[in-house]
Amino acid sequence: MRDVAAAAASTGSRVLPPNDPRQYDDLVDEWWRPDGAFAMLHWLAEARAALVPPADRPGAVLVDLGCGAGLLAPHLAGKGYRHIGVDLTRSALMQAAEHGVRVVQGDATAVPLPDGCADVVSAGELLEHVPAWRQVVAEACRLLRPGGLLVLDTLNDTALARLVAVRIGERLPTVPRGIHDPLLFVDARELVAECARYGVDLRVQGVRPQVGGLVAWLWRRVRAARTGVAPGGGRAPRIVPTRSTAVLYQGWGVRNG
């Protein structure tokens, strides 16, 4: 059975079904708290940005689909892109704009931007939230200029991902409860095949938080909860490659022609 009560627990205010986008409004104050409910999105944004090379021309554009509050922005600084963020959630976009993102409120399945406008398209932690994820892939590839780069990360459609990311992850302070609908997780092989239809040869790589860093971070959080003193300081866990794509994976690929 879907854990609707858990979703309510995560927002502390109203009962919302899993993956309901209104959860992002209820969690609006969490986006930029480094140790808040979206902490792991910060770690993933850093790892995703590492896949993006410096722009190879003046005026290069990076379109960030499902940009949320623009957590990718600080990690793109100095790479030379105009960062355009597209998201459904207005409250998140307002924060993205404060971090230098040019924002567009819209659906990633029907993006109001022209064909071939992007040197890079990013879709971080988005596909597993969109029932029509194939349409997001189609849009991402439509936006990419020939030779442009697609970068993304998402959760795989496996029992292990459901266990780790939902049953365990949503009980830890790393992931808000009820934010995922595990039925929407994206099979890595299907994603690779879908990208190939649009001329993007997607390579995938499993990733996970570095264990020592994660344990230290969780410990700081537990200690803070016990003492009432903010966790403060300490390095955020790094996202590192792992052999298996069974839970969380990154993908990147260039659009040919």
Can you read off the two tokens belonging to residue 114? 């022209």
User: Least distance from C-beta 205 to ligand SAM, angstroms?
Assistant: 17
Nearer to ligand SAM, 124 or 251 (CB): 124
Which is it for strands 118-124 and 144-155: parallel, antiparallel or unpaired?
parallel
Q: Contact with ligand SAM (CB under 6 A): which of 30, 107, 181, 187?
A: 107
Nearer to ligand SAM, 3 or 125 (CB): 125
User: Least distance from C-beta 124 to ligand SAM, angstroms?
Assistant: 4
Closest CA to 174 of 41, 40, 45: 40
Indicate whether 8 belongs to the interface with ligand SAM (CB under 6 A): no
User: What is the contact mask toward ligand SAM in residues 67 to 96, using x (rule: CB under 6 A)?
Assistant: xx--x---------------xxx--x----
Q: 106-110 contacts: CB < 8 A, separation 24 or more? A: 108/65, 108/66, 108/136, 108/139, 108/140, 109/135, 109/136, 109/139, 110/135, 110/139
Q: Applying CB under 6 A, which part among 52-60, 62-70, 192-200, 231-239 lies near ligand SAM?
A: 62-70
Nearer to ligand SAM, 83 or 129 (CB): 129
Indicate whether 63 belongs to the interface with ligand SAM (CB under 6 A): no
User: Rg for the chain (alpha carbons), in Å?
Assistant: 17
User: Least distance from C-beta 220 to ligand SAM, angstroms?
Assistant: 21
User: Least distance from C-beta 106 to ligand SAM, angstroms?
Assistant: 7
Helix (H, G, I), strand (E, B) or coil at 74: helix
Q: What are phi and psi of 98, to 5 degrees?
A: -65, -15
Q: Applying CB under 6 A, which part among 4-12, 60-68, 154-162, 188-196 lies near ligand SAM?
A: 60-68
Contact yes or no for 128/180 (Cβ under 8 A): yes
User: What is the distance between the alpha carbons of residues 55 and 96, in angstroms, rounded to a whole number?
Assistant: 21
User: What is the contact mask toward ligand SAM in residues 20 to 49, using x (rule: CB under 6 A)?
Assistant: -x--x----------------x--xx----
* 97, β-bridge pairs: none
Amino acid letter, residue 58: P
Indicate whether 126 belongs to the interface with ligand SAM (CB under 6 A): yes
Instruction: Kindly list the residues in this chain that would bind ligand SAM in the complex (CB under 6 A).
Output: 21, 24, 41, 44-45, 66-68, 71, 87-89, 92, 107-109, 124-126, 129-130
